[in-house]
Amino acid sequence: RSVFHTMRMVTALNAISDHRYGTLLDDAVGYINARISSILESKPHIETQALTFPLSEVTGDLVDVVGGKCANLGELRNNAQVLTPEGFAITTTAYARFLDADGLREEIMKLLRDVRPNEPDKIVAVSAGIARAISAVRVPEAITQALLTTWDSTFANPETVRVAVRSSAISEDGVLSFSGQYRTVLGVQRSNIEDAFRDVLASLFSPRAITYRIHHGVPFEQCAMGMACIEMVDSVASGIIFSRHPVDPLSDEIVLNSIWGLGAYAVDGIIEPDTWHIKRGASPRITFEHVADKKIRLVSDIHGKHEEAVPEAQRSQPSLTQEQVLTLAHIAMKLDAHYHRPQDIEWALDQRGQIVILQSRPMHLVSSYYGSLEYIADEGADLLIDKSDIACTGIGIGPAVLASELTDLADFPQDGILVAPHSLPNYVLVMNRAQAVVTEAGSITGHMASLAREFNVPTLLNAKDATSLVKNGEILTVDAVRGRIYRGEVAELLELRSQHTTQIADTPVHATLRQVADQIIPLHLLDPKSELFRPESCTTLHDVMRFIHEKCYTEMFRISDRASDAGAVSTQLKAGLPINLHIIDLGGGLKDVDGPYVYLDQITSVPLAAMLAGMTRPDVHERGPRPVHM
């Protein structure tokens, strides 16, 4: 639009100047438009033709080649010197080759044009269409051969090993976490690596992933999916450790969660984990311990992953020893120092007692501006739940929406309060509309909690019996500062209610807009008398507009001078004004003109007559000497 209106100005200047500037301005705007188009059409820069990479050759600077998660995994292994699983990376080149097969990329782009940000049902329909298109495309033979060859050279027992194929998209595990938005396929064998590749790639277009990217300003053109194929860890216990407290970063505490078995039940909030807080320092110390009742666990064996009951004797036992807790704290501080920022770290404890790091990504911290609310009295307020864990601070007031009553998340109303048994990352689909989120189980280190902090949605976890205490549709006040839920609207908290804001800073779309703005806003043509004040010096649209603005005055006075010198063309107004005003009659504006002068009573143009009536009012301009012409 900026280019369009600038070209209109160029056309107008050329019209009044008899094309005095030729095509010079057209060329300048053309060059600027080409640069803007290049920025808007930019794609991830892929620097390799390789389809796979061994993890031993991957570091953090290969993020465009292998994606964020895989680049971090290689960095952990090769530079941070921590134990990681054996495995290899599938590059973004493989993703690009797959999309180029059978016109798939064009089909996806066509479907994505139907996405409407505020119509979740439309997003679901588009996602389903893309999934069908992907499933119909055969994995190119070159990709299949690369996967199998690298598999055989990476793993000591290629026929029996089972791996996790994890998403590693561009931008994932960076400034934006994409926490839980893409798919991980567990228990993959050599015979079904193709299917896992296709499934993880398709998760780039799941409804929740599309929604997340829309609300964080990540265009499809800047997306690419790498993958990490890593050997499954036979986990005794697993979980998440945050190198800083996610809700209270000034407390100087590390937060550790742990469960029996695979970590998916921890990050997805299926069960309540064991929790420790550890004071940071050269000799870290445990300041808080909570051991949960862990009745079930997720395990993986030759039959794949499945849920099983935890033996009675283990359920109420801590899943880590104090020594293991402190070892994990040291690792968290080491990675915090390595990356120079707080880290969200996924780990597993294997059967040999070794701590294996599965991933590390930047934390999204929340700084509370609410201060202490303890001065607010609860008198008259109907307190429903007085204790729960705060995943994201804030105040939310609105009608309760029980997840069990929703047939489709697309039906979630604006400013509702989601009440659910578990904290699932699927709920990202409603976070831009939710006043608050309340779940009966979950962890502040889980995927949904991370998403809530990114969307700045007040969120309470482990709110016991919330789904049975709350009636669908009743008004709730969620106090995610003190961890309380009230029935009805608490007037004292109403003015503190959280407002939805769009966080555009540090997002890809913000970076793109900044680059585009650099082609539009800066002004370099400052001095009209400079020899550089010419069309060839215009490097931004502002330069072009400044040049046109200056030259329009030049051309306007040139026309005026020509008109005043040509009596047959113009007529001078005699009206007692302190200016020489020459009028060119384009037809029907003057009457009975005979000679070089025209008077007020000869003007028939209604707008001109009205303007001159005002200019000649005695009380507006007193008669006086004409100004000196400089």
Beta carbons of 585 and 568 less than 8 angstroms apart: no
Question: Alpha-carbon distance 588 to 456, whole Å?
Answer: 65
* Cβ neighbours, 10 Å, residue 486: 20
CA nearest neighbour of 546 among 529, 530, 525, 517: 525
26-83 pLDDT, tens digit per residue, is 888 888 988 888 877 655 555 678 999 999 999 888 888 888 889 889 999 999 999 9
Q: 578-616 burial, b if ≥16 CB within 10 A, otherwise e?
A: eeebbbebeeebbeeeeeeebeeebbebeeeeeebeeee
The residue-averaged pLDDT of 232-245 equals 92
Ranked by mean pLDDT, the top range of 149-158, 214-223, 591-600 is 149-158
The pair phi, psi for residue 308, each rounded to 5°, is: -145, 160
Beta carbons of 344 and 176 less than 8 angstroms apart: no
Which CATH number does 382-494 carry? 3.50.30.10
The residue-averaged pLDDT of 383-410 equals 88
Instruction: Give the pLDDT confidence score for residue 83 in this predicted structure.
Output: 95
Which CATH class name applies to 233-365?
A: alpha beta
Please name the helix (run of DSSP H) or strand (run of DSSP E) that holds residue 300, with its range, or none.
strand 296-301
Question: Alpha-carbon distance 440 to 270, whole Å?
Answer: 10
Ranked by mean pLDDT, the top range of 11-15, 296-300, 348-352 is 348-352
Extents of the domains making up the chain = 2-40+521-555, 42-230, 233-365, 382-494, 567-630
Asked if the domains at 233-365 and 382-494 fall in one CATH topology, the answer is no
163-209 pLDDT, tens digit per residue, is 999 988 876 544 444 455 688 888 899 999 999 999 999 998 888 88
Instruction: Give the pLDDT confidence score for residue 248 in this predicted structure.
Output: 76
Residue 556 has pLDDT above 80, yes or no: no
Question: Alpha-carbon distance 283 to 102, whole Å?
Answer: 59
Distance between alpha carbon 160 and the CA centroid of its chain, in Å? Answer: 40
CA nearest neighbour of 203 among 69, 296, 87: 69
Which CATH number does 42-230 carry? 3.30.1490.20
Structure-model confidence comparison of residues 249 and 368, the more confident one: 249
